[in-house]
Structure 1
Amino acid sequence: MSTFADYNFAPFLQQALAQIKFTKPTPVQQQVIPVINAGRDAVVQAQTGSGKTHAYLLPLLNQLTTAPVVQIVITAPSRELAYQIRLAAEQLLQPAAHTWKIGFYVGGTDKQHQIASLRKQQPQIVIGTPGRILDLLKSQHLLVNTTQHLVIDEADMTLDMGFLNDVDRIASAMPAQLQMLVFSATIPQKLQPFLKKYLHQPQNIQLTVPTIIAPNITNWALFTRGRDRKQVLYQVLTMGQPYLALIFANTKTAVTEIYEYLAARGLNVTQIHGDLPARTRRRTMKAIENMEYQYVVASDLAARGIDIPGVSHVINAEIPREDEFFIHRVGRTGRNQMSGLAITLFDPDEIDKISHLEELGIKFVIKQIKNHEFVDYQLNQRRQRRAQSSALDPGLRGLVKKQQRKKKPGYRKKIKQAIKTDRAQKRKLAQRLQKKQQRQARKQQS
């Protein structure tokens, strides 16, 4: 199918698509929409930013009836992702003459107010985090026995955050004739028992992409030369003047430290991570969407599924601890075929990490800052020296690392002499072993 018009969606959905200027479906939408329309279960493994939210929302919303019962349940592992899904659903439903009720249930919201609302009317669409949905289900206020479609978004993150048991209990309360749709960036082995338990002959859809990083994203690795990372980060942000920069760090503590450092220097910056109160997080996300900030410092929680519009730059202030987080972070820019720039800061002792990412197929342009400009930098000689040092005994590797720290005069000579002595000893041992083998060979011949 070449355009959304070919799917014969309801007029209100066609009008909504026109309003948001969506005309051509993405590859994941082209593959998923017909499967959902056919009523089949599906396991969809797709690249972040591929358009999977609309891939399931469009065909499911197209099947809604006016009956005041729960018809669609969508679970998300984070409040922010659930909020993004709700916004997308509201946007698609907005032109409709009929009003469908969306129940939005996440932690940190007023549970008693939600219970009072459920007593009056059940929503047709449920969107939320597994824990809160299960709470309302156990108290018998949320009734899911009429559910026709269950969507589990970001299933691997749901597993990682310990929510899969909650989703299991939610699914077990639903009818046997249930269409289940699982969306995930990866399909871990630990997810397989759940999939086998609930999905019936699912259609497995795995979108392969020619490159790990989208071609419209320029991907730099910026060599810090061992300078203070926060100072380098500040220089990067003030040199490039991004429209909106999303800055990632590995821990909540690091996020706060970077945020306070940048704020103290007058940048229009905010922060978002899991330790912020729910109300603060919602208010911050709303402010980000309204373009009230130019810089956002975030933990990896924000890298999964959250679509912040207008991100021109992604800055990895720290290399992520897990490879997949790198893909999710960088995927926050370059959305909807727009161009984006991703910059990863790395220190001299992190060259191995950059090499590791390159081995996975991630291609970097290596840069450094010189005279207040980004210029190309060659790492080949450094990598060659590192490869040579790795052939040394473990004890001598430590000496080589110390050699690179500019110790007092004479220290380098001692290390070089130690390496020279070590290699000479190895040659003597090799010669002795060779002579011994020759003697043994002569004895056998005689």
Structure 2
Amino acid sequence: MRTFESFNLQPFILDAIKDKGFTEPTAVQEKLIPLIKKGKNVVGQSQTGSGKTHTFLLPLMNNIDAAKDEVQIVITAPSRELATQIYQAAIQIAQFAPAEIRVTNFVGGTDKQRQIDKLGAHQPHVAIGTPGRILDMMNEQALKVHTANYFVVDEADMTLDMGFLTEVDQIAGRLPKHLQMLVFSATIPEKLRPFLLKYMENPVIEEIRSKAVISDTIENWLISTKGQDKNRLIYQLLTIGHPYLAIVFANTKQHVDQISDYLKSQGLKVAKIHGDISPRERKRVMRQVQNLEYQYVVATDLAARGIDIEGVSHVINAEVPQDLDFFIHRVGRTGRNGLSGTAITLYGPSDENDISLIEKIGVTFQPKEIKNGEIVDTYDRNRRKKREKSKDELDPTLIGLVKKSKKKIKPGYKKKIDRAISESNKQKRRQARRQDERTVRKNKKRSNS
């Protein structure tokens, strides 16, 4: 296992790492930092929460020449929240530098004219922001990126999904030809490939798979909503479990509004986050959440990848996400930095196929239900299918009887065969039922201990 010292980084970078409490590199950092230091163009594919931000910030900020009053690094992110998180991480590193490293965040919702005036006095060494605002500053002739040595496109698939690839394309087209380009993405969609081919010559493409699909510190519960009021069920889960901080995810803005309105009507103080909320309001809500003024957040998938909220103890999927990749992103909001977390997914009969697909990628669910005001273990939803399969698995003796039943034999003997087969199936059903009951009792005892 490598250490951060083995990357031959400047002392101030190592001081910043120590201040963050990082002890050893993540898998993506271990693999990509040496390649970035060698000047390679890199496409890094890894899941959220894998340490991508410091994978590019550490080696690139290591190379900044603070004596030059010029832009050296340009970084784009698809949302204001993501850009701000990268900016804050860069500021934390810069404060340990022996000479001033200027880092500026260019996002909407901030005073554009003020930023233009500041750029007239000094150019930042590191320009971070959303594609639209960075391009805007370039078009104003205020941000001069022709001196940049490095260009980073973070969350490239999300950039594509949100329709910002045109702006990133225009930014890349006006940067120096001979610069190092780094693209980070959870997935590499086919529509992203022409952009990569256009700007990246012989890139090193690395897919870093996490050892586990979700962290082993997360308990992954599955609760059926059949015949139940979903809003009421969410309220019960939030008040029974007494979470430190919980995020409830829904697929649409309308559903977020419905859930948050219901929870507020039940007396809970709830923050909501979705695309229709103004950037200023979103920023204010995020600050309040981080200050623990809210215990409950209801959000669309914007918060699954676009926002990093510390200390989340519970995640509730009010519905299975339409894009199954977001299941991993949502659940990954909890159980971070070695802390334990609980992810709860609500599902109905129409979600069976999606749940099966999630299980196929290696996610294991614990079936739960609410009973007498407690969250308890319940039966595996597939138990009937397993039982039906076992009906067909007859003892060798019965197989012989079945074969005989197909021949021309006396009616009394045929009834005897039918009774024997029926009795065998009943016995197997009783055994399966007893086994289910034993499993539930055992799990309940374990959860109470």
| TM-score of the superposed pair, with normalisation by structure 1 | 0.83
Residue 365 (structure 1) shift: 1.3
Supply the AA of the counterpart residue of 1:57.
Answer: L
Residue 381 (structure 1) shift: 4.3
Residue 248 (structure 1) shift: 0.6
Q: Distance in 2 between matches of 1:76 and 1:48?
A: 14
Residue 384 (structure 1) shift: 6.9
Alignment match, 1:249? 250
After TM superposition, the structure 1 = structure 2 runs for residues 411-430 of structure 1, keeping only pairs within 5 Å, are: none
Alignment match, 1:127? 128
Q: Distance in 2 between matches of 1:299 and 1:40?
A: 36
Give the conservation status (yes or no) of the 8 Å contact 2:87–2:104. Answer: no
Residue 385 (structure 1) shift: 10
Give the conservation status (yes or no) of the 8 Å contact 1:48–1:305. Answer: no
Alignment match, 1:182? 183
Q: Distance in 2 between matches of 1:292 and 1:62?
A: 37
1:279 aligns with 2:280: yes
- Cα distance per residue 1:106-164 (max 9 Å; x no partner): 12222111111111211111111111111111221111000111111100010111111
Compared with structure 1, are the counterparts of its residues 18 and 141 closer, same or farther at alpha carbon in structure 2 (3 Å cutoff)? same
Instruction: Give ranges in structure 1 of 5+ residues lacking alignment.
Output: 388-446
Coordinate RMSD, CA, aligned: 1.8
Alignment match, 2:208? 207
State the secondary structure of the residue aligned to 1:221. strand
Residue 184 (structure 1) shift: 0.4
State the secondary structure of the residue aligned to 1:318. coil
Give the conservation status (yes or no) of the 8 Å contact 1:33–1:55. Answer: yes
Residue 356 (structure 1) shift: 2.9
Compared with structure 1, are the counterparts of its residues 149 and 227 closer, same or farther at alpha carbon in structure 2 (3 Å cutoff)? same
Alignment match, 2:23? 23
Residue 298 (structure 1) shift: 1.1
Compared with structure 1, are the counterparts of its residues 271 and 385 closer, same or farther at alpha carbon in structure 2 (3 Å cutoff)? farther
State the secondary structure of the residue aligned to 2:85. helix
Q: Distance in 2 between matches of 1:21 and 1:305?
A: 23
Q: Distance in 2 between matches of 1:210 and 1:18?
A: 25
Q: Distance in 2 between matches of 1:4 and 1:254?
A: 44
1:379 aligns with 2:387: no
Residue 386 (structure 1) shift: 11
Compared with structure 1, are the counterparts of its residues 200 and 115 closer, same or farther at alpha carbon in structure 2 (3 Å cutoff)? same
After TM superposition, the structure 1 = structure 2 runs for residues 183-332 of structure 1, keeping only pairs within 5 Å, are: 183-332=184-333
State the secondary structure of the residue aligned to 1:100. coil
State the secondary structure of the residue aligned to 1:255. helix
1:151 aligns with 2:152: yes
Residue 207 (structure 1) shift: 1.0
Supply the AA of the counterpart residue of 2:63.
Answer: Q
Residue 350 (structure 1) shift: 2.6
After TM superposition, the structure 1 = structure 2 runs for residues 56-67 of structure 1, keeping only pairs within 5 Å, are: 56-66=56-66, 67=68
Give the conservation status (yes or no) of the 8 Å contact 1:212–1:327. Answer: yes
Residue 89 (structure 1) shift: 1.0
Give the conservation status (yes or no) of the 8 Å contact 1:180–1:199. Answer: yes
Q: Percent identity?
A: 55
After TM superposition, the structure 1 = structure 2 runs for residues 335-354 of structure 1, keeping only pairs within 5 Å, are: 335-354=336-355
Alignment match, 1:391? none
Compared with structure 1, are the counterparts of its residues 172 and 234 closer, same or farther at alpha carbon in structure 2 (3 Å cutoff)? same
Instruction: Give ranges in structure 2 of 5+ residues lacking alignment.
Output: 390-449
Residue 85 (structure 1) shift: 0.8
Give the conservation status (yes or no) of the 8 Å contact 1:70–1:124. Answer: yes
Give the conservation status (yes or no) of the 8 Å contact 2:75–2:154. Answer: yes
Q: Distance in 1 between matches of 2:383 and 2:84?
A: 48
Alignment match, 1:431? none
Compared with structure 1, are the counterparts of its residues 364 and 100 closer, same or farther at alpha carbon in structure 2 (3 Å cutoff)? same
Give the conservation status (yes or no) of the 8 Å contact 1:76–1:82. Answer: yes
After TM superposition, the structure 1 = structure 2 runs for residues 429-444 of structure 1, keeping only pairs within 5 Å, are: none
Q: Distance in 2 between matches of 1:111 and 1:383?
A: 61
State the secondary structure of the residue aligned to 2:152. strand
Alignment match, 2:69? 68
Give the conservation status (yes or no) of the 8 Å contact 1:226–1:347. Answer: no
Greater CA drift, 92-101 or 111-120? 92-101
Q: Distance in 1 between matches of 2:384 and 2:9?
A: 57
Q: Distance in 1 between matches of 2:87 and 2:2?
A: 27
State the secondary structure of the residue aligned to 2:70. coil
After TM superposition, the structure 1 = structure 2 runs for residues 33-44 of structure 1, keeping only pairs within 5 Å, are: 33-44=33-44
Greater CA drift, 373-382 or 225-234? 373-382
- Cα distance per residue 1:171-207 (max 9 Å; x no partner): 0111011110000000011111111111121111111
Greater CA drift, 56-65 or 207-216? 207-216
Alignment match, 1:4? 4
Alignment match, 2:53? 53
State the secondary structure of the residue aligned to 1:151. strand
Q: Distance in 2 between matches of 1:19 and 1:177?
A: 34
Q: Distance in 1 between matches of 2:266 and 2:335?
A: 28
Q: Distance in 2 between matches of 1:148 and 1:337?
A: 36
Supply the AA of the counterpart residue of 2:27.
Answer: P
Supply the AA of the counterpart residue of 1:51.
Answer: G
Give the conservation status (yes or no) of the 8 Å contact 2:71–2:148. Answer: yes
Residue 293 (structure 1) shift: 1.6
Q: Distance in 2 between matches of 1:82 and 1:44?
A: 18
Give the conservation status (yes or no) of the 8 Å contact 1:249–1:255. Answer: yes
Q: Distance in 2 between matches of 1:263 and 1:330?
A: 24
Supply the AA of the counterpart residue of 1:216.
Answer: T
Q: Distance in 1 between matches of 2:292 and 2:9?
A: 32
Supply the AA of the counterpart residue of 2:193.
Answer: Q
Supply the AA of the counterpart residue of 2:58.
Answer: L
